[in-house]
Amino acid sequence: MKSGAIDATYVGPGPATNAFINSGGQALTVVAGAATGGTSLVADPSIKSAADLRGKKVSTPQLGNTQDIALRYWLKQHGLKTDLQGGGDVNVVPQDNAQIVDAFKQKLIAGAWVPEPYATKLVEAGGRVLVDERDLWPNKKFAITVLAVRTDFLKAHPQTVTALLAGDLDAADFIAKDPAKAQKDVGDLIEGDRGPDEGSRVNGSRRVQVDDALQASGGTEHTHSRHVLQRHRARVDQAGLAG
């Protein structure tokens, strides 16, 4: 996004924050929340507490991503040190989600802080949930995905961004009104992209722990986003850009 290759993206708050800070607040603007929940620290059943992770290897999907930050912060809260080179009291080993599952099956790592569907895949591989990240946040709500737009694009094409946000809100409404149908539609799309095994995991899953962020906390964010959209449309109209 900073290079201008893409204009908008659904991304974790960690990378979004990093891009914002590294660009002096100029690279992107977060226009909406997209999802909350759905991340867990899954570990070998022998791991009963943070202290049991001392001297062990634990993975995250990427150095500096949202789950990597969450794991390191949680370990620090429990008096355990990490460093960016994989040293410290707990060896944090960033690697691709699919590789994490394989590494866990081979007992090369003691666990991982990962998003769905990989948390469930680790459980299916014999792991247990040591930390459901929802339990660490007020009202069990935290952003796992946000909708970010390149700030230059937002300034140049406010009407397009307005339409994008409207579509995001419409999708949130649909998920809230018919979650079963929304889950099936997502499963069907994943099946077409990744095959029937992955699609059936979603369609028949017990793991719908990822919620629409705009519907969280009794719909407060959703209502606020609707109000922001209405005000933005009014500004676009006044500027003579709509129509």
Please say which residue of 140, 165, 182 terminates a domain. 140
Question: In angstroms, rounded to a whole number, what is the distance separating the alpha carbons of residues 172 and 84?
Answer: 37
Total domains, the chain? 2
Which residue, 102, 121, 140, sits at the end of a domain? Answer: 140
* Same domain (yes/no): 125, 155: no
Residue where one domain finishes, among candidates 85, 109, 140: 140
Report the distance separating Cα 81 and Cα 98, nearest Å: 26
Task: Give SS3 for 37.
Answer: coil
Task: Looking at the structure, tell me whether residues 129 and 43 fall in a common domain.
Answer: yes
| Same domain flag for 43 and 136 | yes
How high is the pLDDT of residue 171?
87
Q: Is there a domain that residue 1 lies in?
A: no
> What string of DSSP letters covers 217-231?
HHHHHHHHHHHHHHH
User: Are 78 and 129 within one domain?
Assistant: yes
Domain-embedded: residue 22: no
Asked if residue 157 and residue 125 are part of one domain, the reply reads no
What pLDDT shows up at residue 189?
86
> Which CATH number does the domain housing residue 51 bear?
3.40.190.10
Domain that holds residue 154: 150-238
Query: What's the whole-model pTM score?
Result: 0.75
213 found inside a domain: yes
Distance CA 170, CA 152 (A): 25
Decide if 45 is inside a domain.
yes
Same domain, 79 and 110: yes
What pLDDT sits at residue 223? 45
Same domain for 91 and 125? yes
The span from the CA of 165 to the CA of 162, in Å, is: 5
User: What pLDDT sits at residue 197?
Assistant: 61
Residues 67 and 132 in one domain: yes
Question: In this structure, what is the dihedral angle of CA atoms 171, 39, 185, 230, given to the nearest 10 degrees?
Answer: 0
Same domain assignment for residues 198 and 117: no
If asked whether residues 46 and 135 sit together in one domain, one would say: yes
Are residues 44 and 123 both part of a single domain?
yes
Whether 201 is covered by a domain: the verdict is: yes
- Per the domain annotation, does 64 fall within a domain? yes
Q: Does residue 231 share a domain with residue 157?
A: yes
Per-residue pLDDT tens digits of the chain, which is 243 residues long: 777 899 999 998 888 888 888 889 899 999 988 888 889 999 999 999 999 999 999 999 999 899 999 999 999 999 999 999 999 999 999 999 999 999 999 999 999 999 988 999 999 999 999 999 999 999 888 888 999 999 999 999 999 999 999 998 888 889 889 988 988 888 888 877 766 666 555 555 444 455 554 444 334 344 444 444 454 455 555 544 433
Residue 31 in domain: no
- 123 found inside a domain: yes
- Omega cis (within 30) before 138: no
